[in-house]
Amino acid sequence: MPVYKVNVKWGKEKFSEIECNTDEAPLIFKSALYSLTGVVPERMKVMVKGKAIGDDSWSGIKNLKNNITMMMMGSASDLPPEPAEKTQFIEDMTESQVNQASDYPPGLHNLGNTCYMAATLQCLKTVPELKAKLEQSSGQFTRQSMVGSEGICAAMKQLYKEMDTTSEPVTPLVMLKVLHMTFPRFAERGEGGVFQQQDANECWTEIMRMMSEYLPGEGSTSTQTVRKSFIEQYFGGENVTTLKCSESEEEPEAKSIEKWTQLRCHINTDVRYMQLGLTMGLKENIEKTSPTLGRNAVYVKTSNVNRLPSYLTINFIRFFYKEKENINAKVLKDIKFPMEYDALELCSPELKEKLAPARDLFENLRQKKIEKELSGKDIKNKHDEKDEKKEVKYEPTSFPDDIGSNNSGYYELQAVLTHQGRSSSSGHYVAWVKHKEDNWIKCDDEKLSIVKDEDVLKLSGGGDWHVAYTLLYGPKRCEVWEETEEKKEEKKEEVPEMEKME
């Protein structure tokens, strides 16, 4: 592998022994220079014996060798201003708070209206199976793979790996460049040459689509449903849909299966809670050509969820196009959402029946905990202390024949992507991610702050504060109930007594 240790001269400064790998795109090398100098690649010019290095290829660059000196030109970008809002940042914490927060993720530097991308990546990072899948993937940066699904997955893999090895804010330069190369519309610039703000949910959708193309599904046994992609397994749901013409009784119903990776929460004057917004989307009137009537007619489309994924993504339809102002205006209405969500009401009768066994386990666990409290066993004893040291075991959250499904319909909120502002092409995006118990982390670009459950629930809307735009729910886990040795002995003693009675 052609890897060299080179020197770079930038004005009066000189940097020695910088690794230069010509099997990777030059942008990777430039990102290393950015971390040293603060000069973004767009404003950077690197010369080797009078020849400028591009972003995508080392073509034309010859005679590279160890200890060669490159010349770099370009001025560092101004640092962003300090936020006016006073929050509790990790660097301001006490020692005990820092110890508690030692496993918090690092922030992501804003490279000019890139908060939409940062918020999306912070939310998706909360899915452990996704991180593991990216780590296992063979995606890497070459001259051919900077664009498209492999480039996106390789950039995420590299970024998440870097985020897991530091507590300092990370600069997602390579990720941004790959995103821009794959989706040029995200690279549009406004006045002053600054990147324009983009829609975070659009970024979320496109990244998911790229991962769906590159990350294969899991499972190989004959008893398992093997899906085409990892995203379809863990984020994909299915609806069974019926279409009935309301103007012709003779025309038979048409049934079909629709796949999705997001459920939409519709908003109107009647919707005050997320559940109603979701159920509204399951029934709608559409107009299409009727083969029976030979003209356009109104059809009633009814849908029921027939497969729930492990990770449920819900998008609030908060933006609508205003033709006069030529903007996607925002609906600020307060729509309440829960910390724990039960999707049973959305499901088909067939799926409800399949969910029953896992739901019974949750109910049995609840009853046993109530019985324990009523029996007075809630006082700590030796058995309780032993139980505390045991690793908590959980029931499976997926059906055995369907990897990545949800087998109970119960979910817990683990990430919220919010928007502050009046249109999708302006304002500011922030990620709020669950940490432990009722602790959450507000990921506002490179700044992190600790918040509680009640702070997250205030993101429901109703004003110019941060408003929930996309929610990510993960599977609620059911503990495996293990009786203490004392309880087992009590049951053994009960058996002879019962035999005597007989």
**pLDDT value at position 197?**
92
Encode pLDDT of 335-378 as tens digits. 999 999 999 999 999 999 999 999 999 999 999 988 888 876 54
CATH 3.90.70.10 fits 105-347+407-477, yes or no: yes
Q: Is the pLDDT of residue 141 over 50?
A: yes
d(CA 417, CA 440): 13
d(CA 226, CA 85): 49
Reply yes or no on whether 203 is catalytic: no
Question: CB-based burial of residue 251 (10 Å sphere; 0-12 exposed, 13-18 middle, 19+ buried)?
Answer: middle
Choosing from 115, 123, 153, 245, the catalytic residue is 115
In whole angstroms, what separates CA 52 from the centre of its chain?
A: 38
- pLDDT bin (cut points 50, 70, 90) of residue 85 is very low
**Do 38 and 17 contact (CB within 8 A), yes or no?**
no
Q: Which residue has the higher pLDDT, 422 or 480?
A: 480
**Do 210 and 145 contact (CB within 8 A), yes or no?**
no
d(CA 4, CA 19): 6
Residues 6+ apart with CB under 8 A from 11: none
Region 238-246: what's the mean pLDDT?
A: 95
**pLDDT value at position 314?**
98
Encode pLDDT of 22-61 as tens digits. 877 788 788 778 767 878 777 889 999 888 988 778 888 8
The pTM score is 0.79
CA end-to-end span of the chain:
81
- Torsional class of 69: left (φ above 0), alpha (ψ -120 to 50), beta (otherwise): beta
Q: Is the pLDDT of residue 423 over 80?
A: no
How many H helices and E strands in the chain? Answer: 13, 19
Write the single-letter amino acid at 246.
S
Encode pLDDT of 278-291 as tens digits. 999 899 999 999 99
Q: Which residue has the higher pLDDT, 386 or 393?
A: 393
**pLDDT value at position 255?**
94
Q: Is the pLDDT of residue 142 over 90?
A: no
DSSP element (H, E) containing 242: strand 237-245
Tokens 């399951």 correspond to what residue? 282
- pLDDT bin (cut points 50, 70, 90) of residue 216 is very high
State the chain's mean pLDDT as an integer: 85
Tokens 């990147």 correspond to what residue? 195
Q: 348 to each of 279, 400, 469, how far by Cα in Å?
A: 12, 20, 27
**pLDDT value at position 457?**
96
Look at residues 42, 44, 328 and name the one whose alpha carbon lies nearest to residue 197: 328
Question: CB-based burial of residue 301 (10 Å sphere; 0-12 exposed, 13-18 middle, 19+ buried)?
Answer: middle
What CATH number does the domain located at 3-73 have? 3.10.20.90
The first and second tokens of residue 324, run together, are: 């006069």
Q: Is the pLDDT of residue 83 over 50?
A: no
Choosing from 109, 266, 383, 428, the catalytic residue is 428
Q: Is the pLDDT of residue 276 over 80?
A: yes
The DSSP 8-state label assigned to residue 208 in this structure reads H
b (16+ CB within 10 A) / e for 365-396: eeeeeeeeeeeeeeeeeeeeeeeeeeeeeebe
DSSP element (H, E) containing 195: none
**pLDDT value at position 494?**
54
d(CA 243, CA 497): 62
- pLDDT bin (cut points 50, 70, 90) of residue 19 is confident
d(CA 465, CA 486): 53
Q: Which residue has the higher pLDDT, 61 or 276?
A: 276
CB count within 10 Å of CB 189 equals: 12
**pLDDT value at position 444?**
96
d(CA 172, CA 292): 56
**pLDDT value at position 100?**
44
Q: Give the start-to-end residue ranges of the domains of the chain.
A: 3-73, 105-347+407-477, 348-403+480-501
**pLDDT value at position 95?**
39
d(CA 250, CA 207): 44
Judged by DSSP in three states, 160 sits in helix
Q: Which residue has the higher pLDDT, 210 or 269?
A: 210
**Do 441 and 450 contact (CB within 8 A), yes or no?**
yes
Q: Which residue has the higher pLDDT, 62 or 239?
A: 239
**pLDDT value at position 2?**
75
In whole angstroms, what separates CA 443 from the centre of its chain?
A: 13
Reply yes or no on whether 115 is catalytic: yes
The first and second tokens of residue 58, run together, are: 């080392």
The first and second tokens of residue 221, run together, are: 């046994």
Question: CB-based burial of residue 125 (10 Å sphere; 0-12 exposed, 13-18 middle, 19+ buried)?
Answer: buried
d(CA 293, CA 89): 65
**Do 107 and 170 contact (CB within 8 A), yes or no?**
yes
Write the single-letter amino acid at 237.
G
Look at residues 401, 446, 395 and name the one whose alpha carbon lies nearest to residue 170: 446
